[in-house]
């Protein structure tokens, strides 16, 4: 996944946008901030306005007739106020990550993702959050995916970092690339290819992508039109954690935070039928100010209160800064979690306190937060008498007292429960294991969320839907 790269002067890092501080002991050079997109155009507008003011003064002198005429003081030039509905960056896709063991040195990764926003520029976010050593990335390219291992002709773009080809990401660090011109449409796949020159033994991984991506060992094929004959298929995303899109008008984003149910376990691979995908389809189909991007921050095995020692997955509070606060355009959060805590023996009171703590943190960060009930199960440790009793207590608290801590509630449990026995999933909504949902079950969850509870995208109020639902 290797073509030799030109040597880079030792001791230097390319100038990149650091989105996460490196681990202690690493020193990142202080860099001047790049001008915002359109800044040069803004300077031209200000220069034109200043010139116009000067000409007005000179004309006034001529009209009043000569050198003895008083010269009026020039009017102050006021820069135009920023347009709150002007073009902006929005997080269009992201993946929550956990430590994963994978031998990636020398390989090319072709990660296939589905952005939720339409626009004409992209930037990618790469992570070495869990690495004990540096992650050395060579060539990176982005293009419109053909839905498989290929890239549509003419769409491949090189992706630089601080103007340089490749980047070295120190332990604990994350970086965002330079903007790259690429037309993308919401719901249509994008392929991000990256050559991993050298990687630590543990890399940032999203294990259950429900999307086929590709790994080509030992070669740099980032520019190849297709890697079908060379690649090994993978059901995980590695290193790539975000894709931002420059969009003509701001679209707000809502983050769905949760466990394997939010991650979509039980839905078919490659079909984009998780409940956040179904919600995205509803919001984009409604158009106008209802339209929002829906970002998935689900991780299989996730617990609300503490990491699972076996899965090594950070709790929602521990990953709030990366999965919610750092994502451009996010205004809302939907939290659906708790079933794994109950299976581990945690009490209703502990889970309720955890829900309150997360909601308080989100609201303190200026986010609109929705709490939700825990979907039913009678399977294994999720379906013990104690777990069922605790789940019913938590769900009753969410329904009756949740609004004291949140901006809205969503009754997912009622939407998918078996009417004959609300302790379990309705048969048509059960993926087969009594815990995870089928595609129909995930659609029922999405249908239970009233879009009026969300912030929406006010700047799109006068637009009909121009967004294609993910799929």
Residues 191, 124 share a domain:
yes
Residues 233, 93 share a domain:
yes
Residues 271, 155 share a domain:
no
Q: Are 282 and 291 in contact (CB under 8 A)?
A: no
Q: What is the mean pLDDT of residues 80-108?
A: 93
Number of domains comprising the chain: 3
**pLDDT band at residue 8 under the 50/70/90 scheme:** very low
Residues 311, 203 share a domain:
no
Residues 135, 234 share a domain:
yes
In-domain check, residue 204: yes
pLDDT digits (tens, 9 = 90+) for 187-238: 999 999 999 999 999 999 999 999 999 999 999 999 999 999 999 999 999 9
Residues 146, 69 share a domain:
no
Q: What is the mean pLDDT of residues 46-65?
A: 40
In-domain check, residue 259: yes
- What's the alpha-carbon Rg for the chain, to the nearest Å? 25
Provide the sign of the torsion angle of the four alpha carbons 163, 164, 167, 168, taken in this order. Answer: negative
In-domain check, residue 3: no
Q: Is the pLDDT of residue 362 over 70?
A: yes
CA 425 to mean position of chain CA atoms:
29
**Span of 77-81, 351-355, 357-361, 370-374 with lowest mean pLDDT:** 77-81
pLDDT of residue 459: 95
Residue range(s) defining the domain that contains residue 58: 40-81
At 122 the three-state DSSP class reads: strand
Q: What percent of the chain shows pLDDT beyond 70? A: 80
**Span of 26-30, 270-274, 427-431 with lowest mean pLDDT:** 26-30
In-domain check, residue 22: no
**CA angle, 298 as apex, 297 and 302 as ends, to 5°?**
125
Last residue of a domain, one of 81, 104, 139: 81
pLDDT digits (tens, 9 = 90+) for 367-401: 999 999 999 999 999 999 999 999 999 999 999 99
In-domain check, residue 127: yes
Residues 269, 246 share a domain:
no
Last residue of a domain, one of 250, 272, 297: 250
In-domain check, residue 196: yes
35 vs 18, higher pLDDT: 18
Give the Cα separation of 262 and 206 in Å (integer): 13
117 vs 470, higher pLDDT: 117
pLDDT digits (tens, 9 = 90+) for 28-38: 444 334 444 44
Give the CATH number, domain containing residue 218.
2.60.120
Quote the mean pLDDT of the chain. Answer: 87
Give the CATH number, domain containing residue 447.
3.40.50.1110
Last residue of a domain, one of 59, 81, 103: 81
């Amino acid at each position: 996944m290797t073509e030799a790269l030109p040597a880079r002067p030792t001791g230097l890092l390319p100038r990149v946008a650091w989105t996460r501080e490196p681990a202690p002991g690493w020193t990142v050079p202080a860099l001047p901030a790049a001008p915002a997109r359109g800044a040069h155009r803004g300077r031209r507008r200000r220069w034109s306005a200043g010139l116009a003011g000067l000409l007005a003064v000179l004309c006034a002198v001529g009209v009043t007739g000569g050198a003895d005429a008083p010269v009026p003081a020039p009017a102050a030039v006021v820069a135009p106020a920023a347009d709150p509905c002007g073009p902006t960056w929005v997080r269009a896709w992201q993946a929550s990550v956990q430590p994963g063991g994978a031998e990636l040195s020398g390989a090319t990764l072709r990660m296939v993702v589905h952005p939720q926003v339409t626009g004409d520029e992209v930037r990618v976010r790469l992570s070495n959050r869990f690495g004990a050593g540096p992650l050395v990335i060579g060539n990176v390219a982005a293009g419109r995916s053909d839905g498989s291992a290929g890239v549509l002709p003419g769409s491949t773009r090189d992706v630089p970092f601080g103007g340089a080809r490749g980047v070295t990401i120190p332990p604990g660090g994350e970086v965002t690339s330079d903007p790259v011109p690429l037309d993308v449409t919401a719901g249509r796949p994008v392929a991000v290819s990256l050559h991993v020159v050298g990687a630590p033994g543990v890399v940032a991984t999203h294990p259950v992508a429900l999307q086929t991506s590709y790994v080509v060992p030992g070669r740099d094929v980032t520019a190849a039109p297709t890697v079908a004959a060379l690649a090994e298929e993978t059901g995980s995303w590695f290193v790539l954690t975000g894709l931002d899109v420059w969009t003509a008008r701001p679209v707000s984003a809502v983050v769905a935070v949760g466990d394997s149910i939010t991650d979509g376990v039980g839905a078919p691979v490659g079909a984009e039928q998780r409940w956040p995908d179904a919600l995205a389809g509803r919001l984009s189909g409604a158009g106008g100010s209802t339209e929002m991007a829906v970002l998935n921050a689900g991780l299989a095995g996730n617990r609300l209160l503490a990491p699972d020692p076996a899965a090594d997955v950070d709790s929602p509070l521990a990953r709030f800064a990366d999965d919610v606060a750092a994502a451009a355009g996010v205004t809302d959060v939907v939290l659906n979690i708790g079933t794994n805590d109950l299976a581990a023996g945690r009490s209703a009171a502990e889970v309720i306190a955890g829900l309150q703590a997360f909601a308080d943190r989100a609201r303190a960060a200026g986010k609109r937060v929705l709490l939700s009930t825990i979907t039913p199960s009678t399977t294994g440790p999720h379906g013990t008498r104690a777990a069922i009793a605790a789940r019913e207590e938590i769900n009753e608290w969410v329904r009756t007292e949740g609004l004291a801590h949140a901006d809205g509630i969503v009754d997912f449990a009622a939407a998918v429960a078996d009417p004959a026995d609300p302790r379990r999933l309705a048969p048509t909504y059960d993926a087969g294991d009594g815990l995870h949902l089928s595609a129909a079950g995930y659609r029922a969850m999405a249908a239970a969320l009233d879009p009026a509870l969300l912030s929406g995208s006010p700047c799109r109020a006068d637009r009909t839907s121009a967004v294609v639902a993910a799929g």
